[in-house]
Amino acid sequence: MRQTIVALAVFLVLSASAAAEPVKVKFKSGDGTTLVGLYQKPAPGKGVAIMLHGLKSSKEEYKPLADRLGAAGWGTLAYDARGHGESAVSRTPNGEADYASLGQPGPGSRWERMIDDVGAAIKFVQDDAKVERSSIVVVGASMGANVVARYAALAAPVKGIVLLSPGLDFVGFKPKPEMPKIHCPILLIAARADVYSYQSCLELKTAAPSSDLWNDVPNGHGVQMLDGGLIDRIKRWMEKER
């Protein structure tokens, strides 16, 4: 009887964990900007993946990756960059996010505050999940990849960063000069058919020779590359002890 009760309790706990869905959260960046994300707490002993999307996209693009990681116990936070999705402060007449509030891209612009926003996302998950930076992986796609690289060059190391289809220059974010300053594992991924990001990754690999470069993906840009096989490969890379 006791064994049956214990087994039932374990089943209920596992079922509740599997059924968990990300919840909408809000957190503040350093300048007071409110950022909106979808967040799932990690299981005990698991890390957290923070995900930043590309230009003119939103947090929802990461659903396949977040679902797979969440099912394995990882915590996830996919958030809308400032000026995007639910983090936008102004909208066009048809309801789309209006990037005019960010002004022109470039050094010193409001766009560059996206770098600080990555730090705000990390602080949010650290405060909520009580995890160390050594348990956090930050994923960026397209523009988001460039932002993540710039952040990693300026901040204390995290467990690793995953850069999906970065470029040498996306809206003024130029990661190549910063690559040697990054002191955590780096995973670069680009599809051969995505010529600009593919060539950019070759140059970024040269700037950071210890980084891992996966250029065997046939097609897609950013999260468009994320089929089930690639997601599982990324998960294994994230979980590797270094």
Binning pLDDT at 50, 70 and 90, where does residue 98 land? confident
φ, ψ for residue 224, nearest 5 deg:
-65, -20
pLDDT of residue 2: 54
Q: What is the mean pLDDT of residues 181-192?
A: 98
pLDDT of 162 above 50: yes
Element (H, E) at 148: helix 143-154
Compute the distance between CA of residue 143 and CA of residue 202 in angstroms, rounded to an integer. Answer: 17
Domains assigned to the chain = 22-239 (3.40.50.1820)
Mean pLDDT across 19-31: 91
Which stretch of 77-81, 101-105, 115-119, 226-230 has the lowest confidence by average pLDDT? 101-105
Q: Residue 3's pLDDT is what? A: 55
Q: Which DSSP state fits 54?
A: -
Cα-only R_g, the chain: 18
Question: Average pLDDT in the 152-171 region?
Answer: 98
pLDDT surpassing 50 at residue 12: no
pLDDT for the residue numbered 19:
46
Q: What is the pLDDT of residues 26-44, one digit of tens each?
A: 999 999 999 999 999 999 9
Mean pLDDT of all residues in 93-120: 89
How long a stretch of residues is the chain? 242
Q: What pLDDT, in 10s, does the model give residues 192-231?
A: 999 999 999 999 999 999 999 999 999 999 999 999 999 9
Q: Is the pLDDT at 1 greater than 80, yes or no? A: no
What's the average model confidence in pLDDT over 39-62? 98
Cα 149-26-97 angle, rounded to 5 deg:
70
pLDDT in tens, 148-159: 999 999 999 999
The predicted model gives 186-194 an average pLDDT of 98
pLDDT value for 10: 45
- Hunting for tokens 């932002």 — which residue is that? 147
Structure-block tokens of residue 82: 């400032």
Give me the mean pLDDT over the 61-87 stretch: 97
More confident residue, 14 or 147: 147
The per-residue pLDDT for 15 is 44
Q: Looking at this protein, which amino acid is placed at residue 70?
A: G
In sequence order, the β-bridge partners of residue 162 are: 139, 187
Between 14 and 197, whose confidence is greater? Answer: 197
Assign 9 a pLDDT band (cuts: 50, 70, 90). Answer: very low
Q: What is the DSSP letter of 3?
A: H
